[in-house]
Amino acid sequence: MSKLTEKSDLKGLTLLGRGARPRKKLETFPNHHPGRDYVVTLKTEEFTCVCPATGQPDFARLTIQYIPDRKILESKSLKLYLWSFRNQGAFHEHVANSILDDLVKVLDPRWCKVTAEFSVRGGISITVQAEHRK
């Protein structure tokens, strides 16, 4: 029989079920199916950061996809992590790659891809796709 969530999976999760505030902390829980390749997809339409030169807001649709190895990303920690970018000045290319780097650091996934589709500003939209393979 396949394993479902166990109480021990909650060990170390400090954000789930608690107050929300932006923070650069990603949390994980154990993958009970490490022998199988499966894709986890997380999406948000509400990502924001600001232009490092003008301070104007930038809005993006983010799609994060990964094939877990031993760890799975806890979604509330991702929400708070993404929220932490709200007032940060960053170029679009740096945002996508920074998010990918942080995900790879905590998950050590078999594969991970971050797609950041930024809204039109100045007549141009920018989409950045950053990818990691083990």
Q: Which residues are catalytic?
A: 51, 58
Residue 50, both tokens: 């600001």
Look at the block and give the residue holding tokens 């891809």.
113
Upper half-sphere CA count for residue 6 (Cβ side, 13 Å): 7
Q: Alpha-carbon distance 19 to 22, whole Å?
A: 10
Q: Please state whether beta strands 111-121 and 124-133 pair in parallel, antiparallel, or not at all (unpaired).
A: antiparallel
- Do 113 and 79 touch, CB atoms closer than 8 A? no
